[in-house]
Structure 1
Amino acid sequence: MDTEAQHTERDPSSDTDSSGPEEGSRSARVSDDSGHEGPAGPAAAEEPLESAAAEERHPGPSWRRTALVGGACVAFLLLLSHFVIQPFLIPSGSMEPTLQVGDRILVNKLAYRFGNEPARGDVVVFDGTGSFVEEQPRGNPVTGLLHDGAAALGLAEPDETDFVKRVVGTGGDRVVCCDKDGRLTVNGAPVEERYVMLGDRPSSVPFDIVVPPDRLWVMGDHRSQSSDSRDHLGSAGGGMVPVDKVVGRADWIAWPFGRWSTVPGTDAFTAVPAPPAGGHGAGAHG
């Protein structure tokens, strides 16, 4: 009788064992949508939920990464514009047809960094403080910093002290307008200024000047619409721009895309001789 009781108690266990390894294996595995079998049970079902929950709990790194990348890009552009290439927005028509209102030019700030100096015919951007405009008191520093940053990226108009003009005379040159044929001359040689706005005269204001050393005589291509060296003949600097006030040379038009190109060069001054070693006599201001 003891044997029968033990046998009865063992029956459920025996039934389970009798299912065999194959049936046990089927109960431990399920098939996925692709027909491959994978582990079954709560752990497999909970994996995607846990991953999604982890992403929701830790959204910070992606935002911080984006902010860091954006900040690094802005810092790189500011450094680039400060030392190498700076965009400038053209706000007026004083350099038409070469540069038009709304053009964004790229100024090469390395052009005159290694012993080179501005040459006749170059289109340059310069700080006109002390030559074209008087020194102004500083305004709100925060507003000024924001404006300078936007201007450095070409997103705002340049400071009112920044100008873009064409170099017509360099140190020692005698620049005269006009000769009997109505042409501008440099060191006695007439200059065929094909870059001047069609219909404009070389100058409606007569002048005869000698450019001091380390100074520049600059004029706009749209002569009738340009306030340039001619307008400052009677000022302290005589309309001359110090070479060390030149920001750089305008080499490219970057915007709008339809005008993407290099700033056209000119051979107008090829025949101009160098100024005499002893210098010219003092010119009469007209």
Structure 2
Amino acid sequence: MSVAVTEEPTQERRPRRRRPWYVELPVMITIGLVIAVLIKTCLFQMFSIPSGSMENTLQVGDRVAVNKFATLTGWTPEPGEPVVFKDPGGWLPPAPESGNVLTRAVHSGLSAVGLLPPGDDYLVKRVIATGGQTVACHGSTLTVDGQVVTEPYLHPGDDSCAGMDFGPVTVPADHVWVEGDHRSDSADSRYHRDGPDGGAVPVSDLVGPTAAVVWPLDHFTWFGWSGR
């Protein structure tokens, strides 16, 4: 006895209709911008080194990645860390406007989403002392809380004081004392001792620790997750 098997008609799958490029392109751009903002806010933000004050650790034109994740997870600055901070006021001369209104607006927008480094009102220096510590420099010897600080990162030919004696200075709470590695070419905390914070930088002005030099590739340097 044979049994007839009836095959059900198969439904042909219609090819998925692809969206036109003028619809996909804005979507892709939007997704890219959202990802860039998340990276800038939660992971890393790029900054450009404008001067030689941190040579030879950082060179003019280097692009450094600042660890924003550290600042979101309770990071506190420690002596020895290179950090990026916003000008606390009067450290940098007024930057001349470059380009026209349109190019400045484009740069500002790309900086806001993390695709370009921010403006010229940020600096990078090394933390020497933190709130409550005392810092002094006499002759060629730098001390923090009376202990001599060894500085292997100094620019060749420089010593710790570079001809500028001062202190002891007590760093205010919630502030840091910062100096450049190229000590003889760095207008840092030493030069601003007459300011409202005695040369110290408020912790609230710190963007975060520098994690790495990422460009140019032959300058690549990994400082560590905490910036040291």
Same topology, TM > 0.5: yes
Match of 2:58 among 99, 102, 114: 99
- Distance in 2 between the 1:91 and 1:97 partners? 13
Say whether the 8 Å CA contact 1:129–1:135 is kept in structure 2.
no
1:211 corresponds to which letter in structure 2? V
Measured at CA, do residues 147 and 254 of structure 1 come closer, stay the same or move farther in structure 2, by a change above 3 Å? same
1:193 maps to: 151
**Bigger relative contact order, structure 1 or 2, given CA contacts below 8 A and separation 6+?**
2
Measured at CA, do residues 133 and 91 of structure 1 come closer, stay the same or move farther in structure 2, by a change above 3 Å? closer
- Distance in 1 between the 2:128 and 2:59 partners? 20
- Distance in 2 between the 1:141 and 1:83 partners? 30
Measured at CA, do residues 192 and 228 of structure 1 come closer, stay the same or move farther in structure 2, by a change above 3 Å? same
1:75, CA displacement in angstroms?
A: 2.8
1:192 corresponds to which letter in structure 2? T
Runs of 4+ in 1 over 2 A off after TM superposition: 112-116, 129-136, 140-156, 158-161, 263-266
SS of equivalent to 1:69: helix
SS of equivalent to 1:160: coil
More strand by share: 2
1:112, CA displacement in angstroms?
A: 2.9
Measured at CA, do residues 215 and 97 of structure 1 come closer, stay the same or move farther in structure 2, by a change above 3 Å? same
Say whether the 8 Å CA contact 1:131–1:237 is kept in structure 2.
no
State the TM-score, normalized to the length of structure 2. Answer: 0.78
- Distance in 2 between the 1:196 and 1:96 partners? 8
1:148, CA displacement in angstroms?
A: 3.4
**Superposed CA RMSD:** 2.8
- Distance in 2 between the 1:221 and 1:141 partners? 36
* Residue 91 of structure 2 corresponds to residue 132 of structure 1: yes
Measured at CA, do residues 154 and 187 of structure 1 come closer, stay the same or move farther in structure 2, by a change above 3 Å? farther
SS of equivalent to 1:110: helix
Mapping 1:193-232, distance limit 5 Å: 193-203=151-161, 204-208=163-167, 209-232=169-192
2:138 corresponds to which letter in structure 1? C
Measured at CA, do residues 164 and 131 of structure 1 come closer, stay the same or move farther in structure 2, by a change above 3 Å? same
2:22 maps to: 63
State the TM-score, normalized to the length of structure 1. Answer: 0.63
2:126 corresponds to which letter in structure 1? R
Say whether the 8 Å CA contact 2:177–2:201 is kept in structure 1.
yes
2:209 maps to: 249
Post-superposition CA distance 1:32-77 (Å, at most 9, x none):
xxxxxxxxxxxxxxxxxxxxxxxxxx99712321332123212311
Structure 1 range deviating more: 90-99 or 254-263: 254-263
2:212 corresponds to which letter in structure 1? W
More helix by share: 1
- Distance in 1 between the 2:220 and 2:115 partners? 15
Mapping 1:17-166, distance limit 5 Å: 61-130=20-89, 132=91, 146-151=106-111, 153=114, 155-156=116-117, 158-166=118-126
Unaligned runs of 5+ in 2: 1-16
Determine what percentage of the aligned residue pairs are the same residue.
39
2:60 corresponds to which letter in structure 1? V
2:116 corresponds to which letter in structure 1? L
Match of 1:171 among 121, 128, 131: 131
- Distance in 1 between the 2:197 and 2:94 partners? 13
- Distance in 2 between the 1:100 and 1:154 partners? 21
- Distance in 2 between the 1:59 and 1:71 partners? 19
SS of equivalent to 1:177: strand
